[in-house]
Structure 1
Amino acid sequence: MKKAVLLDVDHVSKSFILSKQRQSELILEAVSLQVQTHQFISTIGSSGVGKSTLLRMIAGIIQPSYGAITFDGNLVTAPNRRMSMVFQNFALFPWLTVR
C-alpha cells in the first residue's frame, strides 16, 4: 500500500540579499524531498549549510526564492498551525540537566 505524501519540497532554492554588498547570496539550490505520512526524517549537516533555512521555509516562516513546498496537498505560503519547529539547543531550558 502506497503512503500519501505529506510534505513535498520541489526544487527549492533560497537566496538572501547581503546588505553591505547588495549582492544576492545563494544559500540553498534545487533542494527536493518528499516525506510520506508517518515517516520520520532528520536533517544533518555542518554549520551554515542551510538546514535552519530549509526548516524555516517548510514551516512557512520564510518563502523560497524558487520552487514550491506543499504540506498535506496545500502550498506553504505562511506559518501553518499544524507545524512547529524546535531547535536542539540547551538554552531552551538552561535550568534543566540530563540528571
Structure 2
Amino acid sequence: MTEPQQVDHAQHGYIGHKDDYLRRLRRIEGQARGLQRMVSEEAYCIDILTQVSAMTKALQAVSLGLLEEHMNHCVVNAAQESDDAGKEKVDEAMQAIARLVKS
C-alpha cells in the first residue's frame, strides 16, 4: 500500500488508503466475475476451488487491513477521548473480529 495521507480525526481510519482499498476490491470483483465465467464454462472443479481460495484470501487481506486501520485510528482516538469511548470501540472491534473468525 502507499503511504497514508493526512487523516482528519473525524474521518474513518482507512480514508488515507481509500484508493488502495478500492483497487483491491475491484480486483476481487474481477475475480468473482472470473469464477462465474469458470462455472458457466464448466471448468474443472479444482481449478474453480483454487480461484475461490485466492478470492477468499484477497477478501481476508482487505478485512485485516481495515481492521488494522480501525484499531490504529478509531480505537486509539476513542481511547484518547475517554475510557468509555475507548472500551466501546474495542468492544466493536472484538465483535467484528468474531464475525471475521466465524466466516
Q: TM-score, normalised by structure 2?
A: 0.27
More strand by share: 1
| TM-score normalised by the chain length of structure 1 | 0.28
Task: Give the number of the structure whose alpha-carbon radius of gyration is greater.
Answer: 2
Tell which has more relative contact order, 1 or 2 (C-alpha 8 A, sep 6+): 1
| Structure with greater proportional helix content | 2
